[in-house]
Amino acid sequence: MSYKSHDRTIEIDRPEPLAVRFYGRGECESGAPLVLHFHGGAFTDGNLGDGAKMAEALVEAGAVVASIDYPLAPAHRFPDAVEVGYSALQWMLRRRSRICGSRATPLYIAGEEAGGNIAAAVATMARDRGLELSGQILVNPLLDPNLGTCSMRAGNAGPMGRCKYADGWHHYLRTPRDGDHPYAVPASAHRLAGIPPTAIIATSGTPLRDEVLSYAKRLAAAGVPTDTTWIDKGDNASDRIRDSARNLFSMTSHPTERITP
């Protein structure tokens, strides 16, 4: 099922307006979960259209989704996309009653591939700045710029110049030292306590498998409620995302508190 989308621009703390595509505002009930979504890609590519399937799966789970056209590398390296994402999050918090019909609307963050990395980074930034999220939903997130895991080698992703992951990280990070920054590489954060409840959905056999598993285990060890779902061959990815999101919404749907606009 394809849900009607609505495009607009919003004014945030940046020189130019930010393009946002809303999904589900006409289908969801008042007070439905509100999800800030980052489309897929490898930091240097992707657009709002690429995020449609995940956004529609989240709408099927009962949410209103705002997918943003975040700035891409190499023109915009770290931390540009993360700062834009956080500013968009603040914008949504201030207007959630207009978007979803209730100030009690719970707020989530979501993303796939590089968008999953940026979503996790914005969630970490929100924790550090005292802004409470109800949860995060990550699909095949890019989490490790070292690309040295067994699953990455087994996946034969290729050397720099022919590997989208290596090339994406190369263009996204300003310097090698950014690889230790928790907002550039959320999985490298020394402190994960306080990250919101997390649903991770990943494709079985993906080269990203080991880094996804490592992040999920570290979140759980830090006391973060974490659910990891694998999409096997023959599974409908949208169904798996929808079901995981629905479970997260059911577990965590409560008014957002400690908001600092």
Question: What does DSSP say about strands 198-203 and 135-139: parallel, antiparallel, or unpaired?
Answer: parallel
Check: CB of residue 25 under 8 Å from CB of residue 99.
yes
225 has pLDDT over 50 = yes
For residue 114, what are its two tokens? 């590089």
The DSSP call for residue 203 is E
Looking at residues 155-175, what average pLDDT do you find? 80
- Model pLDDT for residues 247-260, shown as the tens digit of each residue: 999 998 754 433 33
Q: What is the pLDDT of residue 205?
A: 87
* Straight-line distance from the first to the last Cα atom of the chain, in angstroms, rounded to the nearest whole number: 35
pLDDT band, residue 146 (cuts 50/70/90): confident
- Work out the widest C-alpha separation in the chain, in whole angstroms: 49
Looking at residues 91-107, what average pLDDT do you find? 91
- Model pLDDT for residues 21-36, shown as the tens digit of each residue: 999 987 677 789 999 9
